[in-house]
Amino acid sequence: MKRHTTCVPGLGVGAIALGAMALIVAPGCDNPIAGEHRLTSLRMLLRAPTESELGSPSNTVTPATLKFDVEALDEKGQLMAVDASLSAYVVAGGSRLSLVDPCQTATPTGDPTVLKSIGMRSGKVMGEQVPLNMPAVFGRIAINLEDPQSQALSSTPPIYFPNPTIARLMKPLDLAAGNASFCSPYLARQVTVDTTATPQGKLIVSSLFQSGLAVSDTSSPDYGSMYIFTFSQPSSQIQIGTVLERMSGAIAKFNGMTQLANPTLIPTGSFRPDLVPAPVELDAAHRPTGGPTSANNQWLTKSIAAPVRVSGIVCEVNEDNNRKSNWIQYNTVVINQVDTDPKSSTGCGGVNPSFDGGLGTRFNVQLPGKGFAGFDPVIFAGQEATFVGMLQNGASKSGKTLFWTAVVRRTSDVCLKPRAQCP
């Protein structure tokens, strides 16, 4: 066989040209070596949208598909009549995205990052089309092509889709799934949130804690809030009512709750406490009964990280070991909305789910510390009280038990009176 000077796969000088010109990963050789005449790079020619229609950070686009031609190039950058099986990928932040919903119960087969397998014949692919209207496609992405055998590559320039809204990130892909309240399809994805569900909406700080906060989209009543884990005390610039221009970070999980980790928060300088969403009422009719897929749990999932209000009888924390442990370790009490007995096995049960056969059926309240706002469950056991806080969800290891807790933010969230006598 005739030998030629060729290239180490993947080494080359990137080039992008307009119109009928191509997107070339390796048009020539940076490090020529003696080797076989072989496929070293791929050239993509965009048909629709064209390069000038791929958007920009300030002018985003939403193409449903990408149509293109592909040409195979040899070590000299010349067309090469070769048959190959190419793989297309969606790339964001330098990583190939998984296109399989990790929250689905079925075990995926094959490579979850492959968007499409494309057959190349005689060094050409004509009029190929790949979809772009998938849940994982938002923000800045690119489409990569690779021939796994030769490692020849090509890529589009960046395609600028709109950044996700909070609701886009928080709404389950399948609300009826048993893990809908605690599984995120975008885990570990780097995201920027700088837009709201409607142009009239604002990104506003709705809860503030010692090591985190919650941000709500004022134009999105459902799935419109997200917890932001800051690790340490948030900046003094951040208060409940602070309006943000944008926030960015990585989607993460903690005890089942979706959160934004390692965040960067950019305030607008505007302070609008009047825009903080009113608390959602967690009344007895919405207790989390019926299991993870029940209508009540689906309803609660819409308000994760949003301000909520819960009223009921304070359960005792001395006689039941589970309630005692959760008060001592986590400053958490159970609210009885079933009867007036602070020891009721039905209404109080304990935070531990074993009392109700593996299903959480009550709301809990977590306070910042012992004695906060004058509250002591030993004193107030059996009395009605009202609490406002951020709705936090959690899940047992099996995923069969959900925990719903109102996390108190400030002293004004605590009203040690019946609901009718509280603000």
Domains and CATH numbers, the chain: 3-160 (no CATH), 166-275 (2.40.50), 280-421 (2.40.50)
Rounded CA-CA distance 9/98 in Å is 25
CB 337 within 8 A of CB 363: yes
Rounded CA-CA distance 415/374 in Å is 10
- pLDDT score for 14: 39
pLDDT string in tens for the chain (423-residue length): 333 333 444 433 333 333 334 444 444 444 555 567 889 999 999 999 999 999 999 999 999 999 999 999 999 999 999 999 999 999 998 899 998 888 887 777 889 999 999 999 999 999 999 999 999 899 999 999 999 999 999 999 999 999 999 999 999 998 888 888 888 889 889 999 999 999 999 999 999 999 999 999 999 999 999 999 999 999 999 999 999 999 999 999 888 889 999 999 999 999 999 999 999 999 999 988 777 788 998 999 999 999 999 999 999 999 988 889 889 999 999 999 999 999 988 888 754 444 344 345 789 999 999 999 999 999 999 999 999 999 999 876 666 667 899 999 999 999 999 899 998
Rounded CA-CA distance 339/2 in Å is 89
Rounded CA-CA distance 175/172 in Å is 5
Which DSSP state fits 161? P
Measured CA to CA in angstroms, residue 408 lies from 125, 130, 135, 254, 327 at distances of 59, 48, 33, 18, 14
- pLDDT score for 34: 56
CB 192 within 8 A of CB 227: no
Rounded CA-CA distance 318/333 in Å is 11
Which DSSP state fits 56? B
- pLDDT score for 32: 52
Smallest CA-to-CA distance from 284 within 361, 357, 381 is with 361
The torsion of the CA quartet 378, 382, 384, 388, rounded to 10 degrees, works out to: 40
CB 233 within 8 A of CB 176: no
Residues in contact with 180: Cβ distance below 8 Å, sequence separation at least 6, in sequence order: 103, 172, 174, 292, 293, 297, 298, 301
Residues in contact with 108: Cβ distance below 8 Å, sequence separation at least 6, in sequence order: 100
The distance from CA 110 to its chain's CA centroid, rounded to whole angstroms, is 24
Measured CA to CA in angstroms, residue 61 lies from 24, 94, 162, 285, 291 at distances of 23, 20, 7, 43, 41
322: part of which helix (H) or strand (E)?
helix 321-330
Rounded CA-CA distance 30/18 in Å is 23
- Enumerate the H helices of 19-128 as residue ranges: none
- pLDDT score for 178: 83
- pLDDT score for 397: 66
